[in-house]
Amino acid sequence: MGRKKIALIGGGQIGGVLAQVAMQRELGDVVLYDVVEGLPQGKCLDIWEAMPVVGSDARGNGTNDYRGIAGADVVMITAGIPRKPGMSRDDLLKTNLGIMKTVAENVRQHAPKAFTIVVSNPLDIMVYAFQRMSGLPTHMVCGMAGVLDSARFRAFAAEAVGVSVEDVTAMVLGGHGDTMVPLTRFCTINGVPIEHFLAPETIKTIVERTQQAGGEVVALLKTGSAFVSPALSALEMAEAYLHDKKRVMTCAAYCDGEYGVKGYYIGVPAVLGENGVERIIELPLDADEKSLFQHSVDHVKKMIDEISW
């Protein structure tokens, strides 16, 4: 049988954590691809040499040759340049679009059956671009955003209420940017609505902090963007696929009419299992939520429509 094969495109900050944790959890053997010579090889050697300490037999190989990703079960893409302070995710668009074209062509050629999770920003555009440029089935391509945005919301909410993060569920829909829509109505503490525990002003603060959480980290780090939380979030999605868990997770999924969106990727709750994005769950949004969601969708659409494909 052998272990599953996980190909990581981009061996930077997020790629490194992805490789480490995927190997540590024995989710599969890892191939780490990067354009920088020696970087993925060095990282993988270091991680592999740590595996006896944690008792994992997973292998890791770094490469600068796309042939190394051949036959991968899962591909996770973090290739690109990260945000610098003051830079919006949208500023990254041009550079990362060019990189994504090469990545898409190579994944199509070497790992066309993989479940692909795009992490590179601006996320909603990069995942759309990857699917369009690779031509891979829409349900086998998705973007990581909602799991991370929801995790941030959960962390803040758990702290404010004084309960375990494990008991907080949250849902953040829409694009992965300032227009994201944290749905407080669907945020619960083990099933009990969050409004039962927190005053409206406190909830509002949590919502705003969630929307700006990426920027908060960038402002502190100064030389890059968040990397542990995005990596662990993407791995949750990979695991849902590899273990056919049918997890309900918010991810950037291809909408074919759901939520009134046709032909674009946007953050929606979906079921992830052995068939990739198996279905999208349509929530009955109220008027306010609908309008916020639509605003977010319009922002993503506008950016995509402005690109000369």
Place of tokens 């490789």: 19
Which member of 20, 41, 56, 78 binds ligand APR (CB under 6 A)? 78
Interface with ligand APR (CB under 6 A), residue total: 28
**Is there a catalytic annotation at residue 299?**
no
Q: Is 177 in the site for ligand APR (CB under 6 A)?
A: no
Q: Report the C-alpha gap between 216 and 184 in whole angstroms.
A: 21
Nearest to residue 153, comparing CAs of 174, 137, 168?
168
Q: Report the C-alpha gap between 280 and 51 in whole angstroms.
A: 37
Long-range contacts formed by 156-162: CB under 8 A, 24+ apart: 156/206, 156/209, 156/210, 157/187, 157/189, 157/194, 157/198, 157/206, 160/197, 160/198, 160/202, 160/206, 161/189, 161/194, 161/197, 161/198
Least distance in Å: CB of 171 to ligand APR? 21
Q: How many CB atoms lie within 10 A of CB 154?
A: 21
The answer to whether 83 touches 218, Cβ cutoff 8 Å, is yes
Which member of 6, 14, 141, 207 binds ligand APR (CB under 6 A)? 14
16-55 footprint of ligand APR as x/- string (CB under 6 A): ------------------xxx-------------------
Least distance in Å: CB of 102 to ligand APR? 5
Q: Is 12 in the site for ligand APR (CB under 6 A)?
A: yes
Least distance in Å: CB of 80 to ligand APR? 4
Least distance in Å: CB of 117 to ligand APR? 11
Cβ proximity to ligand APR: between 93 and 171 the closer is 93
Which member of 4, 10, 73, 252 binds ligand APR (CB under 6 A)? 10
Q: Report the C-alpha gap between 147 and 198 in whole angstroms.
A: 23
The answer to whether 225 touches 237, Cβ cutoff 8 Å, is no
Place of tokens 């990596």: 231
Stretch that binds ligand APR, among 72-80, 107-115, 130-138, 184-192 (CB under 6 A): 72-80
Q: Is 15 in the site for ligand APR (CB under 6 A)?
A: yes
Hey, which residues between 200 and 229 contact ligand APR (CB under 6 A)?
224-225, 227
**Binding-site ranges for ligand APR (CB under 6 A):** 9-15, 34-36, 78-83, 92, 96, 99, 102-103, 119-121, 224-225, 227, 230
Q: What residues are annotated to the active site?
A: 176
